[in-house]
Amino acid sequence: PLTRLAARAEHQMSEAEEHLAAELATTGSAAWGRLQNDVTSQLNVDVSLPEGTQQLSMPAVRGLATDSDPAVRRAAYDAEMKAWPTVEVPVAAAMNAIKGEANTLNRRRKWASPLGASLYANSVSRATFDAMQAAVVASLPDLRRWMRTKARLHGHDPANGLPWWDLVAPLPVAPSDLSWTEGIDIVRNAFTEFSPGLGSLVDRALDEQWIDAEPRPGKTGGAFCARFVNDRSLVLLNWSGSAESAQTTAHELGHAYHNTTVAGRTALQRRFPMALAETASIFCETLVVEEGLARLAGPERLAQLDVDLQGTNQVIVDIHSRFLFETELFKRRQQRTLSASEMSEMMNEAQAVAYGDGLDQATAHPYMWLLKPHYYGSHFYNWPYTYGLLFGLGLFARYKDDPERFRSGYDDLLSRAGMDTAEQLGEAFGLDVTDEAFWTASLDIVRGRIADYEALADAPAADLK
């Protein structure tokens, strides 16, 4: 950490200038970010549902993307397309202000590019990033093929691609209905098969009441893990009984386990960047996915693969579109202020490049820049998700190659996430993250799941329409 702080000093303004920038941000970029949140979260939308028109909040409308009724999903998409243009002008002003400020500060801090600042913040070299991106681009045809297969299962012509409103649609099979006890048993068993220490974390989290899993009115949605005191964490979940809930539980407990491994480090060493923060969570989630795939068959296996590949598609394909968009946004913003319509056009172009013929391009979502809060910050807030997923999968591949050696070094690797660079962490297991082959091997796990999905989709039992 001290070495990194010394390097960071090369990219700092004078002390007085840094203090002024921080103070001005409270009424500058931070205030514009709050405006985006306020405008988008308070937007109410009329949705023409099968039972009649209802006015819903935008978060509620977006939640309908996973509804089992295709008519509801389409109605929600149509309502979004009508609603976003009503707030695009103030939100575009927020984007221009935030990215304009970021460009100015990056220039004054002597960063060659916004990406350079983002790579530094995540302890990742440009060589590593370029290797990952090359592997990602090479994988896009495989994920597009999965999207076309999913389109067929939902009754669409695969030649046209998958409509946007069905990207995260559930397959029309009987949903799993796991009790909390059954779900936590799945997680515990998958963790224990890896190591008794990881398995015991589940019981400790339950015994010490780290987990709030029950959905209830007024409770925050989603899931997250927060470091608490010493080596303890607090985990928020909203258990739904789905296989995805079990995966989410494993993901968040993976963060909790990571927190236990760094508890003995100094305060500076316990702070690790976003790209490395997903290392344990993705690995633990993969343990549960693999457990499910070993246990399930037929339509249930297909449904589990569908949930897993939907998430992968978001983190690889959609994140790639976001990276392309944000790269172009930073570039153009150096020259001038951008209009809302120009931003929507840029988003369409980025999605066309990333999704290709996997998506029905007539249904693309040009307003994604409006709704994602990730854009309304100073740095790229997209590629680290891809890094976290693929590094975690790469570690899982190494675990399968040599389980005993991997187990013996896993905790030490996690404990060093706030100390080492991404390259140094990989070297601990003989992994060269600057080599495209590492990232290709990670994506080969995804390719294997796509092949499994396609085989199940072609089976007679997969006539789900």
For 386-415, what is each residue's pLDDT tens digit?
999 999 999 999 999 899 989 989 988 888
What Rg do the C-alpha atoms of the chain give, in angstroms?
22
CB 393 within 8 A of CB 287: no
Decide: helix, strand or coil at residue 275.
helix
Q: Cα dist. 378→63, 103, 187, 281, 353 in Å?
A: 28, 8, 37, 26, 24
pLDDT for position 20: 97
Strand segments, DSSP code E, in 213-274 are 224-227, 233-236
pLDDT for position 156: 97
CB 106 within 8 A of CB 114: yes
- Comparing 415 with 436, the larger pLDDT belongs to 436
Please list, in sequence order, all residues whose beta carbon lies within 8 angstroms of the beta carbon of residue 370, skipping any fewer than 6 positions away.
40, 84, 87, 88, 91
Of the candidates 195, 305, 212, 310, the residue with the CA atom closest to the CA atom of residue 257: 195
Please list, in sequence order, all residues whose beta carbon lies within 8 angstroms of the beta carbon of residue 244, skipping any fewer than 6 positions away.
307
161: left (phi over 0), alpha (psi -120 to 50) or beta: left
Q: How far is it, in rounded angstroms, from Cα 234 to Cα 62?
A: 27
Mean pLDDT for 47-66 is 91
- Comparing 219 with 186, the larger pLDDT belongs to 186
Q: How far is it, in rounded angstroms, from Cα 440 to Cα 457?
A: 25
Decide: helix, strand or coil at residue 111.
coil
Q: Cα dist. 71→88, 165, 170, 173 in Å?
A: 26, 10, 13, 17
Q: How far is it, in rounded angstroms, from Cα 193 to Cα 191?
A: 5
- Comparing 364 with 243, the larger pLDDT belongs to 364
pLDDT for position 207: 97
- Comparing 416 with 6, the larger pLDDT belongs to 416
pLDDT at 235 over 80: yes
Mean pLDDT for 356-361 is 98
Residue with tokens 């082959």: 437
pLDDT at 174 over 80: no
pLDDT for position 464: 53
Of the candidates 177, 185, 289, the residue with the CA atom closest to the CA atom of residue 241: 177
pLDDT at 358 over 80: yes
pTM, full prediction:
0.90
Please list, in sequence order, all residues whose beta carbon lies within 8 angstroms of the beta carbon of residue 51, skipping any fewer than 6 positions away.
none
Q: How far is it, in rounded angstroms, from Cα 380 to Cα 114?
A: 7
For 70-125, what is each residue's pLDDT tens digit?
999 999 999 999 999 999 999 999 999 999 999 999 999 999 999 999 999 889 99
Q: How far is it, in rounded angstroms, from Cα 407 to Cα 115?
A: 34
Using pLDDT thresholds of 50, 70 and 90, give the confidence band for residue 4.
low
- Comparing 263 with 148, the larger pLDDT belongs to 148
Task: Pull the structure tokens for residue 420.
Answer: 């080492």
> How would DSSP label each residue in 161-221?
-B-GGGTTPPPSSPPP---HHHHHHHHHHHHHHH-HHHHHHHHHHHHTT-EE----TT---
> How would DSSP label each residue in 46-86?
EEEETTEEEEEEHHHHHHGGG-S-HHHHHHHHHHHHHHGGG
pLDDT for position 1: 57
Going across the sheet that includes 233-236, the strands are: 211-212, 233-236, 224-227
pLDDT for position 184: 97
pLDDT at 239 over 80: yes
How high does pLDDT run on average in the chain?
A: 92
Backbone angles phi, psi at 226, to 5 degrees: -120, 130
Q: How far is it, in rounded angstroms, from Cα 103 to Cα 218?
A: 39
Beta bridge partners of 162: 359
pLDDT at 279 over 70: yes
Of the candidates 394, 368, 392, the residue with the CA atom closest to the CA atom of residue 382: 368
